[in-house]
Amino acid sequence: MNTSVGFVGDFREAAPYINYLRGKTLVIGVAGSLLAGEPLKRLAADLNLLASLGVRLVLVHGSRLQITATLAAQGRTPAYHNGRRITDEAALQLAKQVSGMLRSDIEAALCSSISQTPQRSKPLSVASGNFLSARPLGIIDGIDMGYTGQVRKIDTESIVNRLDDGALVLIGPLGHSLSGKTFNLSMSDIAEACAIALNAEKLIYLIEEEGILNSDGLLMTNLSAQEARQLMAQQPPPPQLRLIQSAVNAVENGVARTQILSGRDDGSLIRELFTRHGAGTSVARDSFVNIRAAHSDDIPNITALIRPLEEQGILLRRSREYLEDQIHTFSVLEHDRHIYGCVALKTFSDPHSGELACLVVSPEAQDGGYGELLLAHLFKKARDAGMTRLFALSTHTGEWFVERGFQTASAQDLPPERRRDLIDSGRNSKVFVYVL
């Protein structure tokens, strides 16, 4: 029976993430619209589960939907500027009421979902308090934003003390100034500031959408900070713009990742954290895909990539000794620290000729452009080494090379030592050449 699919495969995939997250701090910002009914129950259950795995949790909640709904029920039109609420005296009173109610609802949900976490005998303790100070946003474009505020300072020490005690820290969207005034703040500003101040491993935003969507409405699964900046230049709608900006600020200030995903789909948070591909958008400072020189620790991964193809006769069999001896000629493609492909550059006594060998992309990652990236990498490596001609020998993949600019060649074109090998191997491979 193949045990690598289904539960066993999923568990094996999740195990490294379970170990990696133990003791790490996650700041989770959740939109107010997700703080009722099923989404709240599921969030509470997932938070209990994460806490039981030793993850340190800071939950920052929003209250936009609740304030807007109450204002509407009172026949008042909410006022916004640049996507931010303009908070007058009455809206501030509402913000305080709503914040208190939401805190109570979240605490209750965390208590009731405890039954799903068998090893916990008592509810996760929740710590709330004055963990941040605020100041007014002031006058923006000539508009007085009233009691809308911004984060002034995060009391990191108090939060860390509560986390050390094993509590989940719950922070609402209000802050107080040193003069004793209360301000209405945005959930994303607070979550970002907390994640940076705490040097959190992750900043997570739970929102209504699947994640950050491109102009065709399709989910963007991975973004480097640079790609996220390019996206901002395309002027996405203000709520997404602010999340992307916040994601970039966080990853450029020490947070390893910002992950933006649906808080409505059951299981999104768990899939995002414990699977390789996640569920929403993951933003990191650097690009997720990296091609680097291989080293001997990579041999087991390279072997796992090439063995099935050797068995099918697509690649020539390479022994462990050969790989150890030639590992310096290999490059590997990593996505999120997992190896998905490799390629080697063989050299000959003629310094102007080289050979692309052992180009493989693992089956689950094919057709995503990794083959093309490995090829571009090898072209550069060959050019940097002063080569002018790159050969490729293939029994099955000729078309792929031809479509990428290789020309058919003959055994006579190969450097003499390779010509002899080809005849000895009896594989009758076709020869292709690329002029660099």
> Which member of 366, 407, 408, 410 binds ligand COA (CB under 6 A)?
366
**Dihedral pair phi/psi, residue 125, rounded to 5°:** -85, 145
- Which of the choices ligand ARG, ligand COA, none does residue 256 contact, using the CB cut-off of 5 to 8 A by kind? none
Q: Under the phi-then-psi rule, with left for phi > 0, alpha for psi from -120 to 50, and beta for the rest, what region is 358?
A: left
**β partners of residue 185:** none
Q: d(Cα 308, Cα 317) in Å, to the nearest integer?
A: 10
Comparing CA positions, the residue from 9, 139, 124 lying closest to residue 56 is 124
In whole angstroms, how far apart are CA 40 and each of 85, 113, 181, 276?
A: 24, 10, 30, 25
Binding of ligand ARG at residue 389 (CB under 6 A)?
no
> Which member of 372, 405, 407, 410 binds ligand COA (CB under 6 A)?
372
Select 276 or 427, whichever has its Cβ closest to ligand ARG. Answer: 276
> Which member of 278, 341, 371, 415 binds ligand ARG (CB under 6 A)?
278
> Which member of 52, 177, 221, 326 binds ligand ARG (CB under 6 A)?
221
Rounded least distance, CB 118 to ligand COA, Å: 43
Q: By CB under 6 A, which span of 118-126, 168-176, 202-210, 396-404 interacts with ligand COA? A: 396-404
Applying the rule CB under 6 A, the residues between 225 and 264 that interact with ligand ARG are 257
- Contact criterion met (CB below 8 Å) for 53 and 26: no
Name the residue type at position 252: E
> Which member of 368, 388, 422, 427 binds ligand COA (CB under 6 A)?
368
Comparing CA positions, the residue from 6, 13, 64, 71 lying closest to residue 35 is 64
CB-nearest residue to ligand ARG: 278
Select 68 or 281, whichever has its Cβ closest to ligand ARG. Answer: 281
Q: d(Cα 34, Cα 105) in Å, to the nearest integer?
A: 12
Rounded least distance, CB 168 to ligand ARG, Å: 19
Select 95 or 357, whichever has its Cβ closest to ligand COA. Answer: 357
Select 97 or 222, whichever has its Cβ closest to ligand ARG. Answer: 222
Select 69 or 256, whichever has its Cβ closest to ligand ARG. Answer: 256
Contacts of 434 (CB under 8 A, 6+ apart): 356, 379, 389, 390, 391, 392, 401, 405, 406, 407
Interface with ligand ARG (CB under 6 A), residue total 15
Binding of ligand ARG at residue 25 (CB under 6 A)?
no
Applying the rule CB under 6 A, the residues between 290 and 309 that interact with ligand COA are 309
Binding of ligand COA at residue 364 (CB under 6 A)?
no
Residue 203 corresponds to which tokens in the numbers above?
């900043």
Interface with ligand COA (CB under 6 A), residue total 17
- Contact criterion met (CB below 8 Å) for 301 and 330: no
Euclidean distance between the first and final Cα of the chain, in Å? 48
Rounded least distance, CB 338 to ligand ARG, Å: 9
Q: d(Cα 262, Cα 301) in Å, to the nearest integer?
A: 33
In whole angstroms, how far apart are CA 294 and each of 314, 326, 382?
A: 22, 10, 16
Contacts of 135 (CB under 8 A, 6+ apart): 149, 150, 152, 177, 183
* Residue 87 DSSP code: B
Residue 18 is inside which H or E element, if any?
Answer: helix 6-21
Q: d(Cα 95, Cα 309) in Å, to the nearest integer?
A: 62
- Which of the choices ligand COA, ligand ARG, none does residue 396 contact, using the CB cut-off of 5 to 8 A by kind? ligand COA
Applying the rule CB under 6 A, the residues between 329 and 388 that interact with ligand ARG are 336
> Which member of 272, 371, 379, 431 binds ligand ARG (CB under 6 A)?
272
> Which member of 289, 314, 316, 327 binds ligand COA (CB under 6 A)?
314
Select 7 or 77, whichever has its Cβ closest to ligand ARG. Answer: 7
Q: d(Cα 37, Cα 173) in Å, to the nearest integer?
A: 20
**β partners of residue 342:** 332, 360
Binding of ligand COA at residue 367 (CB under 6 A)?
yes
Name the residue type at position 271: R
- Which of the choices ligand ARG, ligand COA, none does residue 391 contact, using the CB cut-off of 5 to 8 A by kind? none
Applying the rule CB under 6 A, the residues between 255 and 274 that interact with ligand COA are none
Select 202 or 381, whichever has its Cβ closest to ligand ARG. Answer: 202
> Which member of 10, 17, 160, 350 binds ligand ARG (CB under 6 A)?
17
Give contact residues for ligand ARG (rule: CB under 6 A): 17, 221-222, 257, 272-278, 280-282, 336
Give contact residues for ligand COA (rule: CB under 6 A): 309, 314, 359-361, 366-372, 394, 396-397, 399-400
